[in-house]
Amino acid sequence: MHLETKLVQTGVGRDENTGAINFPVYFATAYRHPGMGQSTGFDYTRTANPTRAILEEAIATAESGDSGFACASGMAAIHTVMGLFSQGDHVLVSLDLYGGTYRLFEQVLTRYGLAFTYVDLRDASAVRTAIRSQTRAIFVETPTNPLMQITDIRLIAQIAKEHGLLTIVDNTFMTPYCQRPLELGADIVLHSGTKYLGGHNDVLAGLIVSKGAELSEKLKFLHNTIGAVLGPQDSWLLIRGLKTLALRMERHQANAWAVAQRLKDHAAVAEVFYPGLQDHTGYLTQLEQASGFSGMVSFRVRSAEQVPVILQNLQVISFAESLGGVESLCTYPATQTHADIPQEIRAYVGVCDRLLRLSVGIEHPDDLIEDLTQALDASLVAGGTVR
C-alpha cells in the first residue's frame, strides 16, 4: 500500500463498536478492569490511550519503524529521547540546529552531566574526529534549521554503526512523505508534530519513532515515566492532519520552489537557501535520500535594516514563529527561533541578522510572490542601503 493511502486510512475501521470512519477521542483517564489481574490493554491514559495509540501506530508505519510515541510537544519528544542517556554520556549534534533544541541541551541537560559537541555533519572526517569513548549518539537535523544544510543520513548512520552509536534524526522539515531516515539506517526519528504533520498551526505535539524491540521498550518506559504525553484531543487533531499530509506537502513544495525562484531574482535578496534549487550544495544528496524538498525556504537580504520593513509590509504572509502550517509564515531566526543561541555562535554558523525563514503555505503561489515582491521592493526603497 502506498504511503498516501496509509495516511488517509489512519484509524479507519478501528472503531469496531460503531464503525465510525473517524476514530473517537477517548477522554477517559482510567479504564475499568474486567477483574483483578485482568486488563483491556488500557489501564491509565498516561501509559496508553486508544486515540493516541492510533496516532502512534500511524506514525510508526509511515516512518517504517517499530514503535511510535506521541509527546506534548516536539521539545518533549526530544527530551524524552535524551532520557536514554546518563551522566557522562556525550552526543554529537548538527552545528546548525533549532534554537529550542540547543537551549534544552545547553541550559538543561548539561546540568545533568550530558555533554554535546556541535559538528558540521556534512563533513564526515569532522564527525569521526569528534567521536569520543563516551559518545553515545549522533543527533541529526536535515535539512538543518534554518540554513537548509543537507546531511547524508546513510553516511552518518554508517559511521554511527561502526562506533556503536545511535543515529537520531529530527525529520520535522521533511516528514515521512519526503524522507524516511529509518530506511536509511537511523535508529530513532523525531518530529515536532506541530509543523507539517499537524499542518494547521493549531496543535502542539511531538512524535518519536524507533526501530528495534529493545530500543522501543526503553522509550516506552521513558515515555510513561517522564509523562510528557500528548492529550487525546491533540492526538486526534494530529490524526486529522496526517490524512492530508501528502496533498499539503505537494502544494507546499510547488509553492516553495516558485517562491525560491522569485527570491533569487530579487535585487533585495543576497542569498537563497532551498535544497530544491539545483545550485544548492546539498541538492544531489537530497535527491539521493529524499523524494522531495518540502516547503521551507530561508534567504539573506542585503542589510539588516531591510528586515523590519519586510516584516511590516507583508500582508498575506504572517510574521510568526513556527512552520509547516497551511498558512505562510515568515520568521526572523535571530530574535525568534534561534534567540537562545549565543550571538557569536549564530554568526559563526551563519544565522545572522540578515536571515529570514519562510514556511511557504498552500495559498496560491502568485499571491505569495506578489506579497513578497512588494515587501522586498519596499525594503529597497525604505531600508535603502544596498551594499
Pairing of strands 269-273, 296-301: antiparallel
Q: Which is catalytic among the residues 52, 122, 136, 195?
A: 195
Fill in the DSSP letter of residue 106.
I
Q: Which is catalytic among the residues 6, 14, 15, 46?
A: 46
Q: Left (φ > 0), alpha (ψ -120 to 50) or beta: where does 385 sit?
A: beta
Q: Does 341 bind other proteins (CB under 8 A)?
A: no
Site for other proteins (CB under 8 A): which residue of 13, 20, 43, 342?
43
Q: Does 303 bind other proteins (CB under 8 A)?
A: no
Site for other proteins (CB under 8 A): which residue of 221, 267, 288, 366?
221
Separation of first and last alpha carbons in the chain: 54
**Residue 195 appears among annotated catalytic residues:** yes
Site for other proteins (CB under 8 A): which residue of 222, 245, 269, 355?
222
Grid cell at residue 382? 525604505
Question: Amino acid letter at 50?
Answer: P
Task: Please give the C-alpha separations between residue 356 and each of 99, 174, 273, 301, 336, in angstroms, as whole numbers.
Answer: 15, 19, 10, 8, 10
Q: Does 5 bind other proteins (CB under 8 A)?
A: no
Provide, rounded to whole angstroms, the least separation between the CB of residue 300 and other proteins: 17
Site for other proteins (CB under 8 A): which residue of 148, 203, 208, 242?
203
Q: Does 325 bind other proteins (CB under 8 A)?
A: yes
Provide, rounded to whole angstroms, the least separation between the CB of residue 257 and other proteins: 24
- Phi/psi of residue 225, each to 5°? -75, -45
Site for other proteins (CB under 8 A): which residue of 14, 46, 154, 240?
46
Site for other proteins (CB under 8 A): which residue of 62, 228, 260, 297?
228
> Which residue's CB is nearer to other proteins, number 44 or number 348?
44
**Residue 98 appears among annotated catalytic residues:** yes
Cβ atoms of residues 193 and 173 within 8 Å: no
Q: Which of 170, 150, 165, 203 is nearest to 100 (CA)?
A: 170
Cβ atoms of residues 178 and 294 within 8 Å: yes
d(CA 22, CA 12): 6
User: How many residues form the binding site for other proteins (CB under 8 A)?
Assistant: 69
**Residue 46 appears among annotated catalytic residues:** yes
Task: Please give the C-alpha separations between residue 37 and each of 32, 225, 243, in angstroms, as whole numbers.
Answer: 12, 21, 38
Cβ atoms of residues 258 and 369 within 8 Å: yes
For the chain, the residue count is: 387
Site for other proteins (CB under 8 A): which residue of 64, 322, 373, 374?
322
d(CA 127, CA 77): 25
Q: Which is catalytic among the residues 170, 187, 234, 371?
A: 170
> At 281, which helix (H) or strand (E)?
none
| One-character DSSP codes across 222-242 | HHHHH--BPPHHHHHHHHHHH
Cβ atoms of residues 286 and 151 within 8 Å: no
Range 245-264, binding other proteins (CB under 8 A): none
> Which residue's CB is nearer to other proteins, number 171 or number 194?
194
Range 107-146, binding other proteins (CB under 8 A): 107-108, 111-114
**Residue 170 appears among annotated catalytic residues:** yes
Range 47-76, binding other proteins (CB under 8 A): 71-76
The residue range among 55-63, 202-210, 262-270, 365-373 that interacts with other proteins, by the rule CB under 8 A, is 202-210
Q: Does 28 bind other proteins (CB under 8 A)?
A: yes
d(CA 70, CA 326): 22
> Which residue's CB is nearer to other proteins, number 160 or number 323?
323
Q: Which is catalytic among the residues 26, 31, 98, 118?
A: 98
- Catalytic residues, by residue number, are 46, 98, 170, 195
Residues lying near other proteins in the complex (CB under 8 A): 27-33, 35-37, 43-46, 71-76, 78-79, 83, 85-87, 100, 103-104, 107-108, 111-114, 194, 198, 201-204, 206, 221-222, 224-231, 233-234, 237, 307-308, 311-312, 318-322, 325, 329, 332, 335-336
